[in-house]
Structures are given as C-alpha cells and as structure tokens.
Structure 1
Amino acid sequence: MKRSPLLLIFLTVFIDLLGFGIILPLLPYYAHQEPFNARPWQIGLLVASYSLMQFIFAPIWGRVSDRVGRRPIILMSLMGSTISYLIFGLAQSVALLFVSRILAGIGGANIPTAQAYIADTTSPENRAKGMGMIGAAFGLGFIFGPAVGGFLSQWGYSVPGFVASGICFTDFVLTYFLLPESLKARKPEVAPPQISRWTRLKRAFVRPRVGWLLALFFIATFSLANLEATFALIAKVRYAYTEAQTGYLFAYVGVLTALVQGGLIGPLVRRLGEPRLIVVGTLAFAVSLWLIPYCWDFWALATDLAVLAFGQGVNTPSVTSLISQYTPPDEQGSMLGVTQSLSSLARVLGPIWGGFMFNIHYQWPYLTAAMFMLVAFGLSLKVQAQARLAAGAKSAVRLP
C-alpha cells in the first residue's frame, strides 16, 4: 500500500468533513444576523442544499472518474470547495450563502472517487484498511471541524470560511504536485446496463429481513440530520450558548460517538448481539431527542447528548452489520450503494423538516424526530423477532 498517495486521499476526505464541520454549527448564527436575517426554514434548506448536491453529484463524479481519471475529479472538487468557502466568507445575501453551500456540496461529492482511488492503488488484502482510512477521515473531520469553527468565530463569522478556503486550497496545491493518477490506461469495455438508484432501492426494500433494517436506517439518519441542522438554533434560542460553546458540543458528541464505535461496539455486539443492540440504541436515541428541549442546565444537556451519542453510535454500525449479513456476498457492493443513497436522501430531507418545524417552535424538530424514532423502535422489535425466528429455525435444522 503506497503511503503518500493514500495520505493525500485521507487528507482530502478529512478536509471535506473538516470544512463541513467548521461551517455547520456556525451557519444558523451567521445566517440569522444582518444582512441575511434568514428564517429557520431557510437555514434548513441551506443545510439540505449541501446534501442534495452530494446526492446528485457523487455518482456522477464516480462515473466521470472512470473515464477521465481520479486525479482531475479530485482536483476539481478541491478547487470547488476552495471557491465555495471563500464565497461563504464574502457573502452579503442569502442567495450567495446558497451558492456557497451548493458549490461545497458539489465539491464534497468526491467520496466515491476517493474510494475508487484506494481500490486502484491497494491490493485486495489491504483494501479494507485503505477504505477504513476514509471512515477515520470522516470521524476526525467531524470532531475537529466544529471545535475549530467555534474557536475561529470569536474573530467574526467570515473568518472560519476564509480559513476553510485556505485549507482546501493548500490541499489542492499538494494534490496537484504530489498525487499521481491511479487509473491505468485500458481498452474500452462494453459497460453493463446501468440500474438506477431508485430501482436498486425498490429491490432492496422487498428483500426478506433487509427492508425493515433499511427503513430503520433511513429514519435514524433523517432524525440525526434534523438534529445537526437545528441544534445550533436551539442552542442559541433555548440555551443562549455562544458559537464556540455550540461548536464544542458538536465536537463532544463526535468524540463520544467515535469512542463508542471505535471501542465499545465490539464487546457490546459479542455480549448482546446486533438485534438487541439495535433495540437499545434506537430507544436511547428516541429518548435523548425528546429531552433536548427540556434540559435545565449545561450538565443535563451534556448528559443527554452522551445518551444520544451512545444510541446513535451503537445503532448505525449494528444496522449496517445486519444488512451486510443478510446480503449475498456478490451483492455487497450494490447494497452498500443503496444504504449510501438512503443516507444521502435522509440528509437532504432531515434538515428541511427540521427547519420548517423550528419555524413553528424550537421544540418541534426534536419532538417529531423522537416520534419518528419511536416508529424505528417498533421496527427494531420486528428485526429482533425476525432474528430470533431465524436463530430458532437454524437450531431446529441442527437437531438430529
């Protein structure tokens, strides 16, 4: 496994999530002030516009990179991100904020290209390790981004945008001079017929046992995206927290989630099993969402967010693990694409819902998300019952 190209790919993905994390907790504060005076529903749309562009462009960049190479797409995405954050820092209207977030989403839709680069440059035995670097870059970017954004905001809301732009441009320069093309020249091949994402989604939902898990996964991701889009608003309106405090709370949740997924999930799965862990995680997530508007001080909110980090931290990997276990080996890649599409769609719809609900009252994004998670809790009980039936059937087959 070549170290320096993979390090640059890691840096590219890390910077994408770092930029997203820097802006996310500040966006409501920035857009709410003069000269923008954006309403909560507009802020929800701003957050959703980023995810919508990723949903549209991620498969496009992946296909284009198969034809023109990985390097040009990665460079173009980095330059797009550089320009988007510069516009964010200079914006004087809500329209320009939308332009900034749309460009950032288009630039940040390079994850499939980064994954393809790793597939090009790693041996089969090292591929999982290489793909794991992308997951690590995601986690670290979302941990450090909000903390950096909160810290920089003390010098003005534009400063984090300029810093994010400078970081992206630095990565662009490093990539331009140091990243070689990974796609080998090859003879044109007849491409297999393309199946649309919607067709793959429909096929996946009718698969035995997988459909309930996909529905649960969508609801949980939708609820999390709703929280991410509106938490800075409730932190300002309900708790009167500063931008820095909000950024540190985002980072705190990121650290706790990383600790759960990096160290606690393995022993818990061995002790409880994925189906039971999904039930516990979904219920914890629902309860914590319900309590967010009602915490009486900082420590109560921090405790509630710890419960949320635990619930979300055990739920997501357990659900994806079961989806993988219930999918034939030759369809794993296709099912991964389905879950990524569902995640992207949930991250488009969740912020829109949260913004409109916050426009009614600051409690509504969290109370409605908690009710959705109670539906997911019912689905988790269904998943657990199906797992017990399957285990019982296997035991019966083994009996003489």
Structure 2
Amino acid sequence: MQATSPNATPATRPPVGPLVFAALTGTMAMMAFVAVVGPIVRRLALPEWVAGLSVTAGGLLWMLLARWWGGVGDRRGRKPVLLVGFAAFAIAYWALAVGIDLALHQKIGGLAALALLVGARAMIGAFYAAVPPTAAAVVADHTQPRERPAAMAKLGSANALGLVLGPAAAGWLARHDLSLALYAAAMLPVVALAVVWLLLPGGRPAAARRPPGARPMGLFDARLRVATLTGFTAMGSVSIAQVLVGFFAIDRLGLPVDQGARVAGLALTCVGCALVVSQQCVVRCKTVPLARWIVLGALVAGIGFASVAAARSPAMLWASYGVAAFGMGLIFPNFQAMAANAVQPHEQGAAAGTLSAAQGLGMVLGPIVGTLLYRVSPALPYLLVGLGLWSLAFFSFVRLRRTATA
C-alpha cells in the first residue's frame, strides 16, 4: 500500500537538525532506563514483573495520549507540543532518578520504590508520547509522499543512534553506579528541550492547517488499518525483547547483576548499530515498495528474535539481537510513511498519533505477555515474537501480491 494524499504536502526543506537531535537524546534517555531496569529491580529485591509493569505503565499512557498529542499538534502547532512534552519528560525523569537513588541507598522502602518505578515511568510515557508523532508530523509537513520513507528513515537513524549510545553509556555507568546512569539519562531531555526551543522553527505549511468544516479523523480510520497493525506488531515485539534482555543475560547466561547490565546494554548497542545500517538501506533504495520492505524486515527480524532462544553466550545474544534489529529497521520507517501517505496534510498529526497509540498498545501488552511467558521459560517469549513477525510477513506478502495483480 502506497497511497498518496490527494492534496500532497508541498516539498520544503524539513528542519532535520533539531528533530534529529531531539530524537537522538529522547531515545537515549528512554533506552538508558530499559538497559538498567532489570539490574535495579534485582538490586532492590523486587519481583521481575515490576520491570514489566513499569514499562507497561509507560506504554499505557503513551497509547492513551499519543493520538491526543498529535491532534493538539494539528491545532496548535508542532513546536509548542514538543516543548511541553520534553519539559514534562525531563521533570518525570529527574523524579525517577532521585527516588531510585534514595531506594538504592535504603532511604526509602521497597514498596515506595515500586510505586516510583511504575508511577514515574507512566508519567515519562505520558509526556514523551508527544514527541514521536509530532516529530513525524513535522517531517510529513515538509515532504512529498514518495520522499517520506527516506525522510522517516533519517529520523529513525537518529533513534537508532540513540539506541547505540543510550544503552552503551548506561551500561558503562551502571558498572560503577546505577544511580549515576539514571542521573545522566535525566539530563538528556533537558538538553533536548533547549535545542528544540532555540533551533526548531515555529509555524507550519498552510496545507497542514485543517480546512473549515473538515471532519476530524476517526479513531479506527480504515486508511490506517494496515499501518497500525504493523506498528502494533513491531512495537510489541521490540518491547518484549527490551524488557527481558537484562533478565535473560542474568538467568540464562548465568551472569551477576552488574555484568548482566553490561551485556544487556551491549545487546541494545548492537540493536542500534544494526538499525542505523538497515535504515540507510531504506534511505538509498527509494523505489522499493513499502510493503516489500515490511515483508523482508519481518522475515529477518523473526529469525533474529527466535534465535535468541538458543543463545548460550553473550556473543550469540548480541548477534541475535543485531539480526533482529536489522529487520526491524526495514519495518519502522515504512509503516510510518505508509500512514503519512494515506491521509491529508491537515491530518498528519492525528495519523502519526494514531500510529503511536498502536505502538503504545504494543508496549502495554508486550511486557505483560513477555514477563508472564518468561516465568514459564526464558526462550518462550522470543519464540512468540518470531512467530508474530513471520505472520506479519505473510500478511504483508499477501497484500503485496493482491496490489500487484489489481
């Protein structure tokens, strides 16, 4: 599916620099938490489901608010939404860092630490939900439909670089001090806020403003069904792998907590490197149909995730995560472009928000299902992810064949 809007957005040069930096620092902050949450939970003697619940809480608020944030961006402008999102994101992250520091030094009890992990992560999800759909809408505001996969891939490459730097830095700092890793991560949204405030231009193209009398986009708009299904499957798969990597390194590989944090961080670093490489393929191969990228990406990612079940060493874990991420890098920019190409210019924020809500739903259900299955067998969640991605590849292949013969 590569539909274009009847009223295509005029091509102007998108403000790539500030958006790339915002995506980079935001992803670094988010992934730093994922890299250390397993060791933090173990150090505080909390059950594994606390890590899953904390990520799920963030995903739930992301799911509930992403579409609303996208609509606010359509009505009020992109820059104000980004500023509010990063400001509140920073405040919530600092509250999390300070509270966990107190818990690690036994200044507050385990129940308070549990509430803080879940509550602060929920607030982080609620306000960071404003950032990805708004950044994607800015790109869509300034690009033609045929150019959007490559433009989205540039934004995705910034996210991927954040996946490299965030876990690597957090894993290295966690070897010395888990609290220091959180404090360093909490500084990142503060820096992003300053960059967006100072460098991102305000205003939008005239076509991005809703015409008088235009109806708002429906929640289950048929134009977005394929893109939202793909986004849900992709993010659900990623969230399972993210929240379990620390536990897998500790339990299946038999590593102590500190080494487990480092191995988990390096696994997520491999993810980022592979994402950068694969999304550069999307940038350079602009004539490949969106659905074909999704078929190929889902097949490769399914192989990578399923192979984690057989991992018995850090090297095999890193390789499996890298292969999985290479495939995911082919999926993400293309379903985002698929959604943007299916709607009108004045609907870009709502469309990006709807897509983010679908990804948020994946973040809600993924960690719950993943941590429950992990208690049965550490390999089982990864096999489920592989099966889900292969099903997505089959579904996309069938649609691609139908489109080719129509």
Give the TM-score of the pair, scaled to structure 2. 0.76
The answer as to whether partners of 1:216 and 1:379 remain within 8 angstroms in 2 is no
Alignment of 1:269-288 (within 5 A): 278-288=294-304
The residue that corresponds to 1:144 in the other structure is 165
Which 10-residue stretch deviates more, 285-294 or 18-27? 285-294
Q: Deviations over 1:199-241 (max 9, x none)?
A: 21x5654xxxx5xx76455334322221122122111211224
Could you report, residue by residue, the CA deviation over 1:118-154 in whole angstroms, capped at 9, with x for unpaired residues? 677x5879x9687665334322222211111111112
* Aligned pairs (5 A) from 1:251-290: 251-263=269-281, 278-290=294-306
Would you say 1:26 and 2:40 are equivalent positions? no
Q: Which amino acid aligns with 1:55?
A: M
2 CA distance for matches of 1:261 and 1:10? 14
Matched, 1:354 2:370: yes
Return the offset for 1:81. 1.9
Aligned residues: 375
The corresponding residue for 1:383 is 399
Deviation at 1:355, TM superposition (A): 1.9
- The CA deviation at 1:116 is 5.2
Change (3 A) 1:314 1:63: closer
1:40 and 2:48 correspond: yes
1:294 match: secondary structure: coil
Kindly tell me: are residues 313 and 60 of structure 1, through their superposed partners in 2, closer, same or farther at Cα, counting changes over 3 Å?
closer
Residues of 1 paired with 2:345 and 2:77: CA distance? 26
1:11 equivalent in structure 2: 21
Check the 8 A contact 1:41/1:359 in 2, yes or no: no
Answer yes or no: is the 8 Å Cα contact 1:75–1:172 preserved in 2.
yes
Indicate yes or no: 2:178 matched with 1:157. Answer: yes
SS in 2 for 1:193: coil
One-letter identity of the residue aligned with 2:237? S
Partner of 1:397: none
CA distance in structure 1 between the partners assigned to 2:224 and 2:152 by the alignment: 24
- The aligned counterpart of 1:75 is 83
Whether contact under 8 Å (2:59, 2:360) holds in the other structure is yes
Backbone CA RMSD of aligned residues:
4.0
Counting only pairs closer than 5 Å after superposition, residues 1-400 of structure 1 correspond to structure 2 as: 7-34=17-44, 37-65=45-73, 69-91=77-99, 92=103, 93-111=113-131, 112-115=133-136, 134-173=155-194, 175-176=196-197, 181-182=202-203, 190=212, 192-197=214-219, 199-200=220-221, 204-205=224-225, 210=226, 215=229, 218-239=232-253, 240=255, 241-263=259-281, 278-316=294-332, 333=348, 338-383=354-399, 385-387=401-403, 390-391=404-405
- Shift of the 298–330 alpha-carbon distance from structure 1 to 2, 3 Å rule, reads same
Over 3 Å counting, the alpha-carbon distance change for 1:194 and 1:33 in structure 2 is: same
1:398 equivalent in structure 2: none
Q: Distance in 2 between matches of 1:16 and 1:60?
A: 20
Letter in 2 for 1:249: A
SS at structure 2 position matched to 1:25: helix
**8 Å CA contact 2:25, 2:189 repeated in 1:** yes
Q: Distance in 2 between matches of 1:377 and 1:8?
A: 34
Structure 1 residue 246: Cα displacement: 1.5
Counterpart Cα distance in 1 of 2:291 and 2:352: 19
Go from structure 1 to structure 2 and tell me whether the alpha carbon gap of 1:319 and 1:170 turns closer, same or farther (over 3 Å shift): closer
Matched residue of 1:24: which SS?
helix
Higher Rg of the two aligned structures? 1
Cα distance between partner residues in 1 of 2:292 and 2:215: 40
The change in CA–CA distance for 1:78 and 1:322 in structure 2 (over 3 A counts) is closer
Could you list the per-position Cα deviations for residues 150-191 of structure 1 after superposition, in whole angstroms to 9, with x for gaps in the alignment? 111123111122112223224434555666643699x99745
TM-score by length of 1: 0.77
Q: Give the whole-Å Cα distance in 2 for the aligned partners of 1:282 and 1:379.
A: 10
Is the Cα–Cα contact under 8 Å of residues 44 and 353 in structure 1 kept in the other structure? no
Q: Is the 8 A contact 2:79 2:201 kept in 1?
A: yes
Give per-residue Cα distances to partners, 1:34-79, cap 9 Å, x unaligned. Answer: 2xx3322221121122222222222333333455554443333222
Describe the shift of the 1:191–1:345 C-alpha distance in structure 2 as closer, same or farther (beyond 3 A).
Answer: farther
Letter of the structure 1 residue corresponding to residue 28 of structure 2: L
- Alignment partners' CA distance in 1, 2:239 and 2:62: 14
For structure 1, the residue ranges without an aligned partner over 5 or more in a row are 394-400
Deviates more, 1:337-346 or 1:222-231: 337-346
In structure 2, list runs of 5 or more residues that go unmatched. Answer: 1-11, 104-112
Shift of 1:87: 1.9
Q: Indicate the SS of the match to 2:217.
A: coil
**Larger relative contact order, structure 1 or 2 (CA cutoff 8 Å, min sep 6):** 2
| Structure 1 letter corresponding to 2:156 | G
Q: Distance in 1 between matches of 2:125 and 2:241?
A: 19
